[in-house]
Amino acid sequence: MHEDSVKETAKKALSLLDLTDLTDDCDAAAIEKLCAQAQTAFGTTAAICIWPRFVAQARGILGKDHAVKIATVVNFPSGDLAVADVIAETREAIADGADEIDLVIPYRDFIAGDEAAVTEMVAAVKAACTPPVILKTILETGELKDPALIREASDLAIAAGTDFIKTSTGKVAVNATLQAAEVMLNAIKTSGKPVGFKPAGGVRTVGDAADYLALAATILGDDWATPKTFRFGASGLLNDILTVLGGQSAPSAPASY
């Protein structure tokens, strides 16, 4: 890539980034740092993605209607909570100030053949996401493995009303891959619905980001990827973005993704 196009990609990736800290040892100081990191000299990230217990703190730091949205996770990372418990998690997170909910599907039940479990979970949590709160549904594609299963999970989540489909928790051996992304982007295209896509886990460089953006452009068009339709779930990616844009790196970000 030409230097100018690399910088252009870096700036776009920044605007699409859900800057993430889902490390097990995350604490209040880390959240304060993350909120600061999300506001760079080159613009803000789309969102921060954090544990539910830190949402109220982040909202206190960022204030109301901030350009940086607050995303949090439910049924995370196991995907095996009861629907009622996940709805309770979701409602509490929204009450604390979450703008976006990243939900893990019951992927083990789905692998075992229970398609209805996915539909029920996604539809119930979507119903709890009072507008303008958006729902991103994590398929855990590295565990589904089979492209046919990834496609089916994508189709089920889209039909149940999700706003985004997301590859991974970042907590398993295989996270985002271009192969899974291709299946998911094609599911979005076939659906004809305004559903977004979020690769998460393993997207660490501007070059990685460029590969996903190129794939999205090929399948859904050059202008399709915006913060309303495309996010990167990552922590380390910000450092590479800032290095490309300004020749310097950010303070070290957590390596949870």
Distances (CA, A) of 179 to 91, 107, 173, 251: 34, 18, 16, 32
The number of helices, as runs of H, and strands, as runs of E, in the chain is: 11, 10
- Nearest Cα neighbor of 47 from 102, 8, 110 is 102
CATH code of the domain containing 33: 3.20.20.70
Query: Residue 50: inside a domain, yes or no?
Result: yes
Residue 56 has pLDDT above 50, yes or no: yes
Neighbouring residues of 214: CB distance < 8 A, sequence distance ≥ 6:
none
- Within a domain: 26: yes
Is the residue at 230 inside a domain?
yes
pLDDT, tens digit, for every residue of 169-191?
999 999 999 999 999 999 999 99
Return d(Cα 51, Cα 77) in angstroms, integer: 11
Cα distances (Å, whole numbers) of residue 58 to 11, 18, 24, 32, 224: 24, 14, 17, 7, 30
Give all strands (DSSP E) within 35-112, no chain letters. 39-40, 43-44, 47-50, 69-74, 100-104
Give the model's pLDDT for residue 11.
97
Residue 67: inside a domain: yes
Residue 93 within a domain: yes
Asked if 55 and 70 count as a contact pair (C-beta separation under 8 A), the reply is yes
pLDDT value at residue 53: 98
Q: Is residue 255 part of a domain?
A: no
Q: What percent of the chain has pLDDT above 70? A: 95
What are the φ and ψ backbone dihedral angles of 66, each rounded to 5 degrees? -75, 155
CA dihedral 100, 141, 154, 119 (to 10 degrees): -70
**In-domain check, residue 233:** yes
Catalytic residue list: 102, 166, 198
Considering Cα of 78, then 80, then 86, then 92, what sign does the dihedral take? negative
Chain centroid to CA 218: 21
pLDDT in tens, 100-157: 999 999 999 999 999 999 999 999 999 999 999 999 999 999 999 999 999 999 999 9
Condensed to tens digits (0 to 9), the pLDDT of residues 69-105 reads: 999 999 999 999 999 999 999 999 999 999 999 999 9
Q: How many domains does the chain have?
A: 1
Residue 254 binned pLDDT confidence (cut-offs 50, 70, 90)? very low
Please check the confidence at residue 251 and state whether its pLDDT lies above 70: no
Q: Is residue 199 part of a domain?
A: yes
Q: Residue 161's domain spans which residues?
A: 3-246
DSSP designation for 257: -
